[in-house]
């Protein structure tokens, strides 16, 4: 679920660590107008890579592989495949003949089980055409395929046979994700197609976003112009989708650019609700469900939290859209966690529109009660969009590691 090691309690910032210099011009202390140098407290250990079940990074799986079918650790992308030439109707492609996870899904010896109250969403595996995997984690893989002729993304999760406790947790997450996706119907939420459950594998099918993730998009455009109008429009898509999610008293808990998918029309679809949950109470909520670079300080510190953790994450996402950069890009994930708790945030470009700066600063405030609701964020972004269209028609942001800035 995390980049780096899991902490069982509050991160002790008083423990000595190897020196890390926060004085570079990438970050600033909250409530201060200039960059601030912080003396290193010792070593902030390097974190491991995050495991993805959306296109890049996600929250399902772990850095340690305990699977019987997937014999690998962590996430790796599967390169050099041709989807068009390898999809077969109602079964896996010939190229997947050695893919035990995909074979298990289609194997008639493993009967399809019901989905309880959501059995209407059970897919007909005879209509599922599976192409090769394009990403995988310790407990599952992502495939591209078709269902009833529609391009879809297929997420397969393996039940860990030698870890009953983890298997039970993953089954709960699968059931929760099905429940969430079945409820969520919004143009900025990835559309749920259906699911299948077998004794050894779980399957979730959603619409396929041809544009990949926002993080992929920004990475590809790192040294090119990023239109400001597009950044604000996509931020509005995310905010409107999250306004809808919060209206249903849900918390996403893993909102980040890797979980924001781009449709053919460049609109944004929020994805990966595998760690989302119903907001009933704040005590006892599972911490460490997001990724440190986007995670609110109260979650990092294992304090009670509310929907405002999503608002914090959105502030970081908005900064990404504006600058094109990865947050805390010269830190490991665990180093970023220490920085966030110390009050460090990414540096906002000096010539960023004041209205956008205000939204970012408000959203990532260390006090959750100060952060706006998504309804307020939507209103502020709509006002900013009008300013962009009417007064900054040709404004574009250039992604520079040392000096993100705007030019006309």
What are the residue ranges spanned by the domains of the chain?
Answer: 76-207, 214-407
Task: Respond yes or no: is residue 254 known to be catalytic.
Answer: yes
Calculate mean pLDDT across residues 196-209: 92
- What is the C-alpha end-to-end distance of the chain, expressed in Å? 41
Per-residue confidence band for 127, with pLDDT thresholds at 50, 70 and 90: very high
Q: Report the alpha-carbon distance of residue 196 to residue 15 in Å, rounded.
A: 47
Kindly provide the b/e burial profile for residues 337-346, where b requires at least 16 CB atoms within 10 angstroms of the residue's own CB: bbbbbbbbbb
Task: State the catalytic residue, choosing from 254, 258, 310, 365.
Answer: 254
Could you tell me where the beta strands, DSSP code E, fall in 5-97? Answer: 27-29, 76-77
Assign a CATH topology to domain 76-207: Phosphorylase Kinase; domain 1 (3.30.200)
Per-residue confidence band for 34, with pLDDT thresholds at 50, 70 and 90: very low
76-207 and 214-407: identical CATH topology: no
* pLDDT over 60 (residue 79): no
Residue with tokens 């999503």, as numbered in its chain: 310
Superfamily name with CATH number, domain 214-407: Transferase(Phosphotransferase) domain 1 (1.10.510.10)
Calculate mean pLDDT across residues 354-365: 97
| Mean per-residue pLDDT of the chain | 74
Calculate mean pLDDT across residues 127-144: 82
Calculate mean pLDDT across residues 74-94: 42
Instruction: Select, from the ranges 5-19, 30-44, 125-139, the one with the highest average predicted confidence (pLDDT).
Output: 125-139
Predicted local confidence at residue 23, as pLDDT: 36
Q: Report the alpha-carbon distance of residue 39 to residue 49 in Å, rounded.
A: 26
Q: Whats the size of the chain, residue-wise? A: 408
């Amino acid at each position: 679920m995390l980049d780096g090691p899991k902490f069982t309690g509050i991160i002790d910032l008083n423990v000595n660590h190897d020196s890390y210099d926060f004085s570079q011009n990438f970050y600033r202390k909250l409530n201060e107008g200039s960059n601030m140098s912080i003396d290193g407290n010792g070593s902030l250990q390097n974190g491991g890579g995050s495991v993805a079940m959306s296109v890049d990074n996600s929250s399902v799986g772990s850095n340690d592989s305990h699977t019987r079918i997937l014999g690998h650790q962590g996430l790796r992308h599967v390169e050099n495949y041709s989807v068009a030439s390898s999809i077969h109707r109602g079964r896996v492609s010939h190229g997947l003949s050695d893919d035990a996870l995909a074979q298990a899904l289609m194997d008639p010896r493993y009967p399809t089980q019901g989905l309880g109250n959501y059995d209407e969403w059970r897919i007909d595996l005879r209509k599922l055409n599976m192409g090769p995997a394009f990403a995988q984690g310790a407990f599952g893989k992502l495939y591209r395929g078709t269902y009833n002729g529609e391009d879809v993304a297929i997420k397969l999760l393996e039940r860990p046979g030698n870890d009953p406790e983890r298997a039970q947790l993953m089954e709960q997450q699968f059931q929760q994700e099905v429940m969430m996706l079945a409820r969520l119907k919004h143009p900025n939420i990835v559309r749920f197609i259906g699911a299948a459950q077998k004794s050894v594998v779980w399957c979730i099918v959603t619409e396929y976003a041809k544009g990949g993730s926002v993080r992929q998009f920004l990475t590809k455009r790192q040294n090119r112009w990023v239109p400001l109008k597009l950044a604000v429009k996509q931020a509005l898509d995310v905010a409107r989708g999250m306004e809808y999610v919060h209206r249903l008293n849900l918390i996403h808990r893993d909102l980040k650019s890797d979980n924001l998918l781009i449709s053919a029309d460049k609109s944004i679809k929020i994805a990966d609700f595998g760690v989302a949950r119903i907001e009933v109470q704040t005590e006892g909520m599972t911490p460490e469900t997001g990724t440190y670079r986007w995670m609110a300080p109260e979650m990092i510190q294992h304090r009670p939290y509310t929907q405002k953790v999503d608002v914090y994450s959105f502030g970081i996402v908005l900064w990404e859209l504006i600058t094109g950069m990865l947050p805390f890009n010269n830190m490991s994930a665990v180093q970023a966690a220490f920085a966030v708790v110390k009050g460090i945030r990414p540096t906002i470009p000096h010539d960023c529109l004041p209205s956008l700066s205000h939204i970012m600063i408000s959203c990532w405030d260390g006090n959750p009660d100060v952060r706006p609701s998504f309804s307020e964020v939507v209103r502020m972004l709509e006002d900013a969009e009008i300013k962009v269209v009417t007064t900054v028609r040709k404004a574009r942001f250039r992604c520079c590691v040392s000096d993100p800035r705007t030019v006309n």
